[in-house]
Amino acid sequence: MDFAGEFYTHTLMSPMFVPAPHGLDDPKIIVAGVGERMVQVAGEVGDGLFVHPFSSPEYVATHILPSFEGGAKEGGRSRADLIVAGALLTATGQTPEAIAAATADARRQVAFYASTPAYRAVLDTHGWGDVQDEVATLVRAGRWNDLGSVLSDEMLHAFALVGPPAEVARQLHQRWDGVFDRVSLVAPNSVDPESWKQIHDAVAA
């Protein structure tokens, strides 16, 4: 451990905790961010950016990527030098009933994200800023199960990939090709392994 910074110094390390040299490159440090300043920091000093699931294509295009690329320029790098990874909220399944249940879960998850004051800029991009006040009021009242009732289908689909596996794969390509270098699909609750495999196979094809 050998770090001397402006505010902290970390140099004390017991020999028993020092690993043997491994001969590998340093691990990449990829920073998560939603707001423009944090995204800019990721571009300036990180090896890449993890984009939050509460990010629509419009918000990424108008806020995330310009801030990230601006930070990269400040750090003397280009977008091509860095990684942009997207976590994509997904509602899928093998039956209409499973998809409906997953969609309800995703709707509540998007509404939960929307209740966070720091994320209001994401909603403002679409003219939905007032929704933040509505869901925040429900959160303060402890009405967690009612959060999803505030979200329209349009809002849900702005932030989530919804449908059978093949349709999820189609939406992923349509919305995110050329934007992310890598993606991970995330779901609020468990999804059957066969659905994940079918999405993978459709994307790979």
pLDDT of residue 18: 85
pTM assigned to the model: 0.86
Full DSSP string of 132-154: HHHHHHHHHTT-GGGGGGG--HH
What pLDDT tens digit does each residue of the chain (205 aa) get? Answer: 889 999 999 999 888 888 888 999 989 999 999 999 999 999 999 999 999 999 999 999 999 999 999 999 999 999 899 999 999 999 999 999 999 999 999 999 999 999 999 999 999 999 999 999 999 999 999 998 898 899 999 999 999 999 999 999 999 999 999 999 999 999 988 789 999 999 999 999 9
Name all domains of the chain by residue range, CATH numbers in brackets.
29-204 (3.20.20.30)
User: Whats the size of the chain, residue-wise?
Assistant: 205
Q: Which two tokens stand for residue 120?
A: 């209001």
pLDDT of residue 101: 95
